Amino acid sequence: MPITTADVLDYLQEVADVIGANKEHLTDLDSAIGDADHGINMNRGFQNVLKKLSSVEDKDAGTILKTAGMALVSSVGGAGGPLYGTAFMQAGTAVAGKYELEAVDLLAALEAALKGVVMRGKANLGDKTMVDAITPAVDAMREVVQNGGSTLEALKRATEAAEKGMKDTIPMLAKKGRASYLGERSVGHQDPGATSSYLLINAMLEIAQGKGQD
């Protein structure tokens, strides 16, 4: 059972709800090593995304995701806007013209999102950023897809890998962004960007589980 454009719209609503529910947690994480505004900024961004969805309800998945990306760029402050906006726009480009997405399409979208984030943020695995959650998710999803696994299995494995990647940022020394200015004091704190990235990946799993993906 493919992921439809209606599911993509539901996914963005789910993300907005999850970010809203976790905005204080994300801001608390960011207060330790950043500007204490990640949750607030992300929540504002996805509320803006919701306002744009009515204009793309009949569009393909690529257009929906690119519209979300542009909405994030225009409304999320700090580095988050360009990074998450680029991620969604690149993901949209990867599935342009498609109204149904199989596991291979979701992989292409996530791979493109990661490439966009790396290109924009110049961060590598181990730098204590959102890359540390998305990279293992891509690797895990790719392994399932290459072995002929289902969409649900691909999303489950990707979510598990993203969660581990998120937690693995705790002992890391930050090498990018505001957190890098803290040096050794950044050690012992979970990266907020990796956390929100995990929440975004988990949200797609929730959508797939809700429709009984197999």
* Rounded distance between C-alpha atoms, residue 117 and residue 122, angstroms: 8
Instruction: State the Cα–Cα distance between residues 80 and 71, nearest whole angstrom.
Output: 12
Query: pLDDT tens digit string along 138-180?
Result: 999 999 999 999 999 999 999 999 999 999 999 998 887 766 6
* 8 Å CB contact between 103 and 150: yes
The pLDDT tens digits for 82-140 are 999 999 999 999 999 999 999 999 999 999 999 999 999 999 999 999 999 999 999 99
Residue 75 contacts by C-beta under 8 Å, 6 or more apart in sequence? 44, 45, 48, 81
Tell me, what amino acid is at 168? Answer: D
Give the rounded distance of the alpha carbon of 111 from its chain centre: 11
**What's the rounded Cα separation, in Å, for the pair 96 and 14?**
22
- Domains and their CATH numbers in the chain: 3-210 (1.25.40.340)
Q: What is the pLDDT of residue 212?
A: 62
What tokens appear for 115 in the block? 């490439």
Beta bridge partners of residue 4, listed in sequence order: 100
- Structural Rg of the chain based on CA atoms: 16
Q: Mind spelling out the 3-state secondary structure of 150-202? A: CHHHHHHHHHHHHHHHHHHCCCCCCCCCHHHHHHHHHCCCCCHHHHHHHHHHH
Q: Using alpha carbons only, what angle is made at residue 57 by residues 15 and 10, rounded to the nearest 5 degrees?
A: 25
Q: Where on the phi/psi map is residue 189: left (φ > 0), alpha (ψ -120 to 50), or beta?
A: beta
Mind listing the pLDDT tens digit for each residue in 31-76?
988 888 999 999 999 999 999 999 999 999 999 999 999 999 998 8
